[in-house]
Amino acid sequence: MKGPPTAGRGVATRLRTAKGRSTASQKWLERQLNDPYVRAAQAAGYRSRAAFKLVEIDDRVRLLRPGARVVDLGAAPGGWTQVALQRIGPAGRVVALDLLAMDPLPGAILLQGDFQEAAAEQAVRAALAGQADLVLSDMAPNTTGHNATDHLRIMALAELALDFALKVLAPGGGFVAKVFQGGSEKGLLDLLKRHFAAVRHVKPPASRKGSSELYVVATGFRPAG
């Protein structure tokens, strides 16, 4: 599927009964019901609206090539994994990891674990059995509501993902990670620029406007950088 979905535009759903619901969960539910990406994800059989973020990133910067070997970190419930599988085709390989268990997806190797632990990284490397062409990280910790803390935690996960990517990527490979608005931190950006031919920040249309989420997209991996 290409471009932003338009399904069900124009008819806003209001919840009649808020009995027993907190204002926050009521708002969340209303937003979900009125979100065209949520509806389009359901129509397309994607497990999450997040799937469209990868669709949009990949439509802009061609990353998911047929036969590619892809690592998907922070993969649950599996939207990005589904998009990756569709685009790389049967000759490719996807190794997906999350703290949470995921329902099986034919063609993907699904692992459960905390990527902050060495055992999880080892499990991904074992499943990959070689180099990767693309390392994706949509990892995000549960937000605390305290911006500075959330920022630090998400950047720590992005750094961990990059550290891993530098070890497993094949020359010419790509890297995508969720970061926070304001761009990547200097250390992360310096490292990316040293090791990749091109580095850009992408805010896919499917990423909610109010959120400070952003993706750093790096292509053309240079091992010796």
Under the criterion CB under 6 A, does residue 47 sit at the interface with ligand SAM?
Answer: yes
Q: Shortest distance, CB of residue 88 to ligand SAM, whole angstroms? A: 15
Query: For ligand SAM, how many residues bind (rule: CB under 6 A)?
Result: 23
59 carries a ligand binding annotation:
no
Six-digit token string for 133: 């062409």
Where would I find the H helices in 61-146? 79-88, 118-128
Please identify which of the residues 19, 178, 186, 209 carries the catalytic annotation.
178
Q: How far apart are CA 171 and CA 191, in angstroms?
A: 16
Where would I find the H helices in 47-100? 51-60, 79-88
By CB under 6 A, name the one of 25, 116, 122, 149 that touches ligand SAM: 116
Q: Which of 155, 151, 170 is nearest to 70 (CA)?
A: 170
Choice between 13 and 116, CB closer to ligand SAM: 116
Choice between 102 and 191, CB closer to ligand SAM: 102
Residue 211's H or E segment, with its range, is none
Q: Shortest distance, CB of residue 133 to ligand SAM, whole angstroms? A: 18
Six-digit token string for 207: 């990423």
Indicate which residues carry an active-site annotation: 178
* Feature table: binding site for S-adenosyl-L-methionine: 78, 80, 98, 114, 138
